[in-house]
Chains A and B, each alone.
Chain A
């Protein structure tokens, strides 16, 4: 079956760095997405990786290793507004998004 694993919850301090990991086992791979979702709102796009390596976009970076079925989202200089759920999703061979359960990130002052 298809499976996406990510931690349920993480806590970090304002101004610090946090890394949210995601491992996946899917039927085919056409890319991995990270989305941010605040409570009661729809997800918003953060990043997309289809090749191995690190993609940097401002305070957020995303890494992919296809051979290991592994990705992480790195958030730097954490701000209180970064408190949200972060969803990892893989585009499978049918171009269907397979979703992880999300990681709730709590930022403390």
Chain B
């Protein structure tokens, strides 16, 4: 099946710093990638939809200036958490849609656990 990588898998940073998370589709081209956030024992919460070559579409309540998304190529999207605070600590997961597939399946990266001290 299609593989999506995410880097880093874990990051610990100080409050006020910025953190960049990369999401790559390794063996397929993804015109659309999704960024999710998941709190413990909760379901996935869609933060934004990232389209290659255009601006990301953010969900209601998600600050686009705080969570910067760049989808510069068909295989790479990045999420930058700017001026991180402890409340930004969470599990961030990206997924990529294989538009050539039969049913628009989303393939998930392994996730990034962010801890802001």
Contacts and interface: CB of A to CB of B under 8 A. Distances in A.
Interface of A: 30-31, 33, 35, 40-45, 48, 50, 87, 91, 95-97, 99-102, 104
Specify the main secondary structure of chain A where it touches its partner: loop
B93 A48 contact: no
Contacts of A42: 6, 93, 108-111
B43 A95 contact: no
Contacts of A35: 108
Contact of A41 (B34, B41, B107, B111): B111
Contact of B107 (A31, A45, A96, A104): A45
B89 to A, nearest CB: 14
Contacts of B103: 31, 48, 50
Given A42-B93, A42-B109, A30 B104 contact: yes
Contact of B106 (A30, A97, A100): A97
